[in-house]
């Protein structure tokens, strides 16, 4: 290169290089643009990403299936919900607007403050619920003022409603918003099904539609009772509509179309008669207890009452903490389903099963045993409830008078296993699937059960004596007691209880099997239980008189006054029971068993009663438990008396039950 470089020609050369570089750069950009288009043409990755940005699926909540009683009365249905909400961005001053609404609706200042906080934490275009469940006058008051209340929306929504309130709280249950835990579980399950790790990775686009649906404000899921157990039937399938949203999630366009129509939930029909259920709840009044009534022919449960109840409507929008604490803390346990989840020592009602065991053991029921009021066994005195004793007594009278000592002696002759076998055949220790959660199987003690609990210890001798009178470790739910009464009443047909009679993919009832007990044994027991309620000296003789008679021309059961003169009386047969909830020490017994006001309510005996009617042609069986009612005859039998009387007069089994219309759902062949 020359010493004097020609800068001008160097410049020209280099500017060509610069232009070349610029050309290459711009060409690179162009190639990259083409490349991105090519990629998209090949796998549509970017188009899909743009669409998934732009379109959002919003759930359409399907109507939840109605729950009917056996005659078509709705127990759980959708009802109008008048609600007022506010759109923050449409108000001039959000706080003032909410305060004004609060004044208008008479809301507590704390609630108003909470709503203001909520509204401030949400996106400005999200509707915030201020109050729902409004009475019509309040709702109308807001509606009238809508023009001046900027940003306020008054809408009529739908929500689950339980018209019978307390009466069906336990069998029907209630719905609530899904909890965060439930949503997380659903999301985790969907993620697993999609083959993804349990925790979301940053930037991934997986979206569980099920979880998204559960997060939708209007969606409720069954949390208790049938609502929970039949969730899949009642819920239906959500629909999805496509909406166009912007980057902040605001809906820009609703008309993008419906991606999937919602499928309404299926209705179900229960075997319960709402009218009789209400009677049962009224009969239990302020007591804590349960009533179960069954049709002994079909096994259909006519009444399933658990008292005290609670208003399930309080739970639908989230129950307030103070109310929940009150329900949860009360010793009457209103949230507990006593009819199927509660288990009790059956007490003397178990003697029905024990008497059958005596007959089955081939023992002559006419054989008399002496009851001096106590029985020594294993170095210990076992007492009869009748301190002075029953004297010489046979099986019939032992049932009628509920003599403990007779059964103590018989239990030793029969043995525990024999008693347990008979009890199981009558329904004890069995878990019945009646589409309810938490159905208790109860306990029937025998050697196998004992070994599984305490493998090292020998069978305790006193256990046999306790079992035969329904004390000790025997536990049964009111439902099981009713099944026992039904199987006795049905002369050995192994009736299986049913609660859902239509809908809910419930298989048709299997034909009941026959228990291998001779008819004569049932005749004997029927007579003995008749004696309890109708013969002098029977423990429930006061309550056997139902004052009912059968009009022979129509076959209907009527009050004696209304029936033609000379119509045959309709009677019931039963068995009382009183079960200790604590063991009584010898010292206490010596001082006289204290009862009534002298001891705390929770320590008083449970009162029980099982029965069936009419005695000449049994149709209904009933079991009643009154917690801490002390005497079956005085606390449980009157309830059974009222409920059975009402049931016999109404005779739900003779009337046609509701049929769900099947026209829209043709049976699939095969």
Contact positions vs other proteins (CB under 8 A):
3-8, 10-12, 14-15, 17-19, 22-23, 25-26, 28-30, 32-34, 36-37, 39-40, 45-47, 49-51, 53-54, 202-203, 244-248, 252
**Minimum distance of other proteins from residue 5's CB (angstroms):** 5
74-86 and 500-502 beta bridge pairing: unpaired
Give me the DSSP letters along 8-30: HHHHHHHHHHHHHHHHHHHHHHH
Measured from the CB atom, the residue of 46 and 136 that comes closer to other proteins is 46
Contacts of 231 (CB under 8 A, 6+ apart): 221, 222
**Minimum distance of other proteins from residue 255's CB (angstroms):** 15
**Minimum distance of other proteins from residue 20's CB (angstroms):** 10
**Minimum distance of other proteins from residue 187's CB (angstroms):** 19
Query: SS3 for 296?
Result: coil
Measured from the CB atom, the residue of 200 and 285 that comes closer to other proteins is 200
**Minimum distance of other proteins from residue 17's CB (angstroms):** 8
Contact 431, 440 (CB under 8 A): yes
Contacts of 431 (CB under 8 A, 6+ apart): 439, 440, 441
Q: Is 208 left (phi over 0), alpha (psi -120 to 50) or beta?
A: beta
Between CA 404 and CA 388 the distance in angstroms is: 12
Measured from the CB atom, the residue of 51 and 184 that comes closer to other proteins is 51
Distance of CA 456 to the CA centre of its chain: 39
Unique residue bearing structure tokens 């009869």: 384
Measured from the CB atom, the residue of 203 and 455 that comes closer to other proteins is 203
Task: Of 479, 471, 425, give the one whose Cα is nearest residue 622.
Answer: 479
Strands (E), 100-177: 128-131, 152-161, 174-176
Measured from the CB atom, the residue of 251 and 602 that comes closer to other proteins is 251
Which pair of structure tokens corresponds to residue 26?
């711009």
Contact 84, 141 (CB under 8 A): no
268-270 and 67-68 beta bridge pairing: parallel
Contact 616, 268 (CB under 8 A): no
Measured from the CB atom, the residue of 29 and 194 that comes closer to other proteins is 29
Between CA 398 and CA 390 the distance in angstroms is: 8
**Minimum distance of other proteins from residue 213's CB (angstroms):** 24
Measured from the CB atom, the residue of 203 and 511 that comes closer to other proteins is 203
**Minimum distance of other proteins from residue 3's CB (angstroms):** 6
Give me the DSSP letters along 229-257: HTHHHHH-B-EEEEEEE-TT--EEESTT-
Unique residue bearing structure tokens 């009224």: 282
Measured from the CB atom, the residue of 17 and 255 that comes closer to other proteins is 17
**Minimum distance of other proteins from residue 161's CB (angstroms):** 39
**Minimum distance of other proteins from residue 205's CB (angstroms):** 10
Measured from the CB atom, the residue of 49 and 584 that comes closer to other proteins is 49
């Amino acid at each position: 290169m020359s010493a004097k470089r020609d800068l001008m020609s160097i410049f020209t050369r280099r500017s060509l290089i610069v232009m070349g570089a610029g050309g290459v750069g711009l060409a690179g950009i162009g190639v990259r643009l083409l490349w991105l288009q090519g990629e998209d043409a090949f796998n549509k990755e970017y188009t899909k990403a743009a669409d998934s940005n732009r379109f959002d699926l919003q759930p359409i909540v399907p109507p939840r299936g109605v729950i009917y009683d056996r005659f078509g009365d709705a127990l759980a249905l959708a009802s109008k919900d008048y609600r007022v909400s506010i759109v923050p961005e449409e108000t001039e001053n959000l706080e003032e607007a909410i305060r004004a609404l609060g004044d208008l609706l008479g809301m507590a200042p704390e609630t108003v403050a909470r709503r203001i906080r909520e509204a401030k934490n949400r996106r400005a275009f999200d509707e915030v619920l201020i109050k729902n469940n409004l009475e019509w006058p309040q709702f109308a008051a807001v509606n009238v003022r809508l023009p001046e209340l900027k940003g306020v929306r008054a809408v009529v929504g739908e929500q689950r409603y339980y018209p019978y309130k307390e009466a069906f709280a336990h069998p029907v249950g209630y719905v609530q918003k899904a909890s965060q835990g439930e949503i997380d579980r659903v999301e985790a399950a969907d993620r697993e099904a999609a083959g993804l790790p349990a925790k979301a990775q940053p930037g991934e686009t997986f979206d569980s539609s099920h979880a998204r649906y559960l997060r939708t404000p209007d969606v409720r899921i069954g949390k208790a009772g049938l609502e929970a157990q039949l969730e899949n039937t009642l819920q239906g399938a959500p629909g999805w509509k496509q909406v166009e949203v912007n980057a902040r999630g605001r809906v820009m366009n609703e008309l993008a179309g419906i991606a999937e129509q919602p499928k309404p939930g299926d209705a179900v029909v229960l075997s319960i008669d709402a009218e009789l259920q209400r009677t049962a709840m009224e009969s239990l009044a302020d007591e804590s207890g349960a009533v179960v009534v069954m049709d002994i022919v079909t096994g259909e449960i006519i009444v399933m009452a658990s008292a005290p109840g609670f208003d399930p409507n309080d739970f639908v929008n989230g129950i307030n903490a103070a109310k929940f604490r009150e329900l949860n803390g009360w010793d009457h346990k209103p949230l507990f389903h006593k009819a199927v989840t509660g288990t009790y020592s059956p007490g003397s009602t178990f003697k029905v099963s024990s008497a059958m065991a005596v007959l089955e053991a081939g023992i002559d029921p006419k054989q008399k045993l002496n009851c001096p009021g106590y029985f020594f066994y294993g170095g210990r005195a076992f007492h009869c409830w009748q301190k002075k004793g029953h004297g010489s007594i046979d099986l019939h009278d032992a049932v009628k008078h509920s003599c403990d000592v007779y059964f103590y002696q018989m239990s030793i002759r029969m043995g525990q296993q024999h008693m347990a076998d008979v009890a199981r055949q009558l329904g004890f220790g069995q878990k019945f699937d009646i589409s309810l959660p938490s159905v208790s199987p109860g306990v029937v003690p025998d050697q196998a059960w004992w070994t599984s609990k305490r493998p090292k210890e020998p069978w305790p001798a006193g256990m046999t004596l306790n079992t035969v009178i329904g004390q000790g470790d025997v536990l049964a739910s009111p439902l099981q007691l009713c099944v026992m009464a039904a199987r006795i009443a049905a002369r050995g047909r192994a009736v299986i209880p049913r609660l859902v009679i239509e809908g809910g993919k419930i298989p048709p009832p299997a034909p009941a099997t026959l228990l291998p007990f001779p008819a004569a044994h049932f005749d004997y027991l029927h007579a003995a239980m008749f004696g309890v309620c109708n013969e002098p000296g029977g423990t429930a003789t006061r309550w056997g008189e139902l004052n009912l008679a059968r009009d022979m021309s129509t076959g209907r059961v009527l009050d004696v006054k209304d029936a033609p003169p000379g119509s045959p009386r309709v009677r019931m047969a039963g068995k009382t029971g009183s079960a200790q909830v604590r063991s009584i020490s010898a010292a206490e017994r010596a001082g006289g068993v204290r009862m009534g006001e002298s001891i705390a309510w929770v320590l008083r005996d449970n009162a029980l009663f099982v029965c069936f009617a009419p005695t000449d042609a049994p149709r209904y069986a009933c079991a009643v438990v009154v917690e801490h009612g002390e005497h079956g005859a005085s606390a449980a039998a009157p309830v059974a008396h009222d409920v059975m009387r009402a049931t016999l007069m109404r005779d739900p089994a003779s009337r046609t039950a509701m049929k769900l219309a099947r026209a829209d759902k043709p049976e699939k062949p095969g």
